């Protein structure tokens, strides 16, 4: 709802200190470091139905706009992605860093860039959600040793459909798949049908996910489209689960069909795209709170599976970024406390948050 009178002065102030989204993502360079850019709300609905951190979603709802800060790790990743050689096998990039430094939002920045460049995005918002708190585990019909997770698979398929609507009719399935005695999917039918089947028949959702991933992997190598595989919390794939079978014995991650298929996706035996992932201790299971390095969180198995990869460290704000963040909050009148506008207040915020973006956001929420 547009309120012209008050908004025009606000937008004028914004343009002075901030990049407006008129500048395309492709043109983000070193000089834009520390500045915010606005993601149109329509893009947020299509590209990020499930990817953004929950606190950021609240912030978007409160401010009525989605603004991401352009930071060095994201710029580095964008530089690599712009210069990818699609004939070579997919390069794996790993964003790692301490808690609250902005790994997930950097990933979202990269995803938005690739979406604007018309890549196909396979985005798993949090792999940890697939290895815990799943009350309904079905034994898979395809492979009796593995387990299906109907709920998680069907929600993921719905969000996948929202993001990649236009590709689903263009990509054709190259093999015949049998769902059960009566239903099957023929060679040459669009991928959209597989997704529909997965959403409609929740029992087949996990198998639908497996088919989608396999087809995308196969066909991106043919060069029809560029594929971006974005996984948040990739250390969940090689960790432990808290799920148990009926006999109360623990389920290993390989016994979950979703995780098994995702692991195949993370192997660099396909080309025509890139794999960007994030480590996350926050949702991880059986890992100490101060662990943030790839070796600690992935374990030996995970590290060997992901090796070789390009590690990108995401660190706390530098003084310029900190100042820019505070300016953004002040412009949106988010910092309401009188003392927060003063120098002493800013110094105190810097001290309390130690320039950690997550902590700063939580502090400014109640000030």
Binding to another protein in span 279-298, by CB under 8 A: none
Span interacting with another protein, options 62-70, 98-106, 191-199, 220-228, rule CB under 8 A: 62-70
Residue 10 is a binding residue for another protein (CB under 8 A): no
Q: How far is CA 294 from CA 93, 107, 269, 312, 365, in A?
A: 12, 17, 22, 10, 31
Span interacting with another protein, options 46-54, 177-185, 271-279, 329-337, rule CB under 8 A: 329-337
Give me the least distance between CB of 41 and another protein, in Å please: 13
Give me the least distance between CB of 68 and another protein, in Å please: 20
Residues pairing with 122 in the sheet: 229
Judged by CB under 8 A, which of 13, 75, 213, 365 binds another protein?
Answer: 365
Taking the least distance from each CB to another protein, the nearer of 224 and 365 is 365
HSE-CB of 148 using CA atoms within 13 angstroms: 22
Residue 244 is a binding residue for another protein (CB under 8 A): no
Report the alpha-carbon distance of residue 308 to residue 303 in Å, rounded: 9
Residue 366 is a binding residue for another protein (CB under 8 A): yes
- In the shown chain, the binding pattern of residues 334 to 353 toward another protein, with x for contact by CB under 8 A and - for none, equals --xx-xx-x-xx--x-----
Residue 64 is a binding residue for another protein (CB under 8 A): yes
Q: How is residue 314 written in tokens?
A: 């995401």
List residues binding another protein (CB under 8 A).
1, 3, 5-6, 58, 62-64, 333, 336-337, 339-340, 342, 344-345, 348, 365-367
């Amino acid at each position: 709802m547009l309120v012209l009178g008050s908004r025009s002065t606000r937008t004028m102030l914004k343009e002075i200190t901030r990049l407006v989204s008129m500048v395309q993502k492709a043109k983000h360079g070193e000089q834009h470091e520390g500045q915010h850019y606005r993601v149109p709300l329509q893009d947020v609905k299509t590209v990020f139905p499930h990817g953004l951190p929950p606190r950021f979603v609240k912030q978007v709802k409160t401010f009525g706009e989605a603004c991401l800060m352009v930071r060095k790790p994201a710029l580095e990743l964008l530089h690599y992605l712009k210069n990818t050689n699609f004939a070579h096998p997919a390069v794996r990039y790993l964003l790692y860093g301490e808690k609250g430094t902005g790994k997930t939002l950097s990933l979202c920045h990269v995803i938005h860039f690739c979406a604007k460049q018309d890549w196909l995005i396979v985005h798993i918002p949090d792999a940890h959600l697939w290895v815990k708190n799943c009350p309904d585990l079905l034994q898979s019909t395809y492979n009796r040793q593995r387990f299906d997770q109907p709920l998680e698979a069907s929600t993921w398929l719905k969000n996948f459909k929202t993001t990649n609507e236009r590709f689903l009719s263009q990509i054709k399935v190259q093999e015949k798949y049998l769902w059960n005695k009566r239903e099957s999917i023929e060679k040459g039918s669009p991928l959209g049908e597989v997704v529909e089947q997965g959403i409609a028949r929740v029992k087949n959702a996990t198998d639908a996910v497996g088919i989608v991933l396999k087809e995308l992997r196969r066909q991106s190598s043919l060069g029809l489209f560029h594929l971006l595989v974005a996984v948040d919390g990739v250390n969940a794939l090689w960790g432990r689960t808290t799920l148990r079978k009926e006999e109360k014995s623990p389920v290993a991650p390989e016994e979950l069909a979703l995780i098994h298929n995702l692991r195949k996706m993370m192997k660099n035996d396909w080309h025509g795209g890139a794999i960007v992932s994030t480590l996350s201790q926050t949702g991880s299971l059986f890992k100490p709170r101060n662990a943030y390095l790839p070796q600690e969180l992935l374990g030996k198995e995970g590290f060997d599976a992901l090796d070789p990869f390009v590690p990108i460290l995401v660190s706390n704000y530098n003084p310029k970024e900190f100042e820019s963040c505070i300016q953004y909050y002040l412009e949106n009148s988010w910092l309401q406390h009188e003392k927060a506008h003063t120098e002493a207040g800013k110094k105190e915020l810097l001290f309390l948050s130690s320039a950690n973006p997550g902590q700063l956001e939580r502090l400014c929420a109640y000030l």
